[in-house]
Amino acid sequence: MNRIIDGAHDGVRLDKCVKELFAVSWSTARSRIEAGKIFCDKKVATAPEQPMRRGVSLTYDADAPRPAARDDFDPACILYADSHVIVAVKPAGVVTTKVDEDERDTFLRRLRLHLAREKGPSRKRRGALPSLMTVHRLDKLTSGVLVFARSGVAMDGLSTQFKERTVTWTHLALVHGRCPAVTISSHIQEDRGDGLRGSSEHSRSKKVRRRAEGKPAVTRVEVVECLRNATLVACNFERGGGTNQLRVQLFEQGCPIVGDRTYLKGIRGEPINSLQLLVHANHLSFRHPVTGAPMSFAAPLPDYFEATLAQLRR
């Protein structure tokens, strides 16, 4: 099935083009893209936010194989490991764990494969990967520190700490404009009216806007540094609203994150160029779920994040 990008879709996101040109739902359009079923000029396209250009040939191939899972893993990303927990730094561009049953390349899988290799070839040949459980997640485009449970007692203990909000998990984000110190409280919903996540308070649907629908989300934002046309902020989730919480809330605050191609409209002046989303989970503190010992970990900013900060400081 083939379509040609017309003038009406010039500059429009890939997922929206797939939705409209192939007459499918938002979820179907994005699942086809993630599964490697969509091709632009015969090249597989897996970035939903990728802008299309007039004349590009857009193809849907239901029989196309899912892109092969990558096996690149840097052991230096592991900050701590014992028989109950592992703390590691996830790079941007890979999901934490499965978002659908066909998902193959996840940070959890890469970490388990690395642990299997450390155990020796006999375990790997049998296909028995070490047990590892996801306690919390980072969005695909976000880098930073995560803790994983290696035992049931660790999973229960860590889950309780997150539920009771005794964990400190800080994200650094570079945003456009002057962002004040503020606590943002809203209700995040799956579809704000155009297929994107957003809060009911800023929904494009008047029917939804009158009611507090969606998952409650509260983020405390503190100013770290004021830069040229930008602000470096530290963010803590006081209540989680799910995927893209930080991106949505900062955008609706009028300060979209640098590098965000989805939530960007309405900024004053030219956007700051960045090929990566500049948000990073740089600090995590909790109590060991078995020993009760306080634990604290820091993850340095990625090089591309530091480079953008250095440029703005000059």
Residue type present at position 236: N
CATH number (3.40.50.620, 1.10.1270.20, 3.30.2350.10, 3.30.70.940) of 170-277 reads 3.30.2350.10
Paired with 182 in beta bridges are 221
Q: State in words which class domain 2-60 has.
A: alpha beta
Amino acid at 268: R
The predicted structure's pLDDT at residue 123? 46
Is 82 catalytic? The answer is: no
Annotated active-site residue in 105, 139, 191, 260: 139
Write down the pLDDT at residue 205.
54
- All residues at 6 or more sequence positions from 27 whose CB lies less than 8 Å from its CB, including other chains: none
Question: In one letter, which amino acid is 4?
Answer: I
pLDDT at 100 > cutoff 70: no
What does the pLDDT look like over 169-195, one tens digit per residue? 999 999 999 999 999 988 888 777 667
pLDDT tens-digit series, residues 262-296: 887 767 777 888 888 999 999 999 999 999 999 99
* Element spanning 26, H or E: helix 26-34
- Contacts for 35 with CB less than 8 Å, ≥ 6 apart: 64, 66, 102
- The identity of residue 258, as a single letter, is V
Task: Choose from 19-28, 36-45, 46-55, 157-166 the range with maximum mean pLDDT.
Answer: 157-166
Q: Selecting from 3.90.480.20, 3.10.450.50, 3.30.360.10, 3.30.2350.10, what CATH number does the domain 75-163 have? A: 3.30.2350.10
Beta carbons within 8 Å of 56's beta carbon, 6+ residues apart: 4, 5, 40, 41
CATH 3.30.2350.10 placement within the chain: 75-163, 170-277
Classified as helix, coil or strand, 187 is: strand
Phi, psi of 249 (to 5 degrees): -70, -40
Region of poorest pLDDT, from 14-18, 25-29, 167-171: 25-29
Q: pTM score, two decimals?
A: 0.74
In the chain, which residues fall in CATH 3.10.290.10? 2-60
Q: Is the dihedral of CA 190, 195, 197, 198 positive or negative?
A: negative
Which of 44-58, 124-138, 216-230, 239-253 tops mean pLDDT? Answer: 216-230
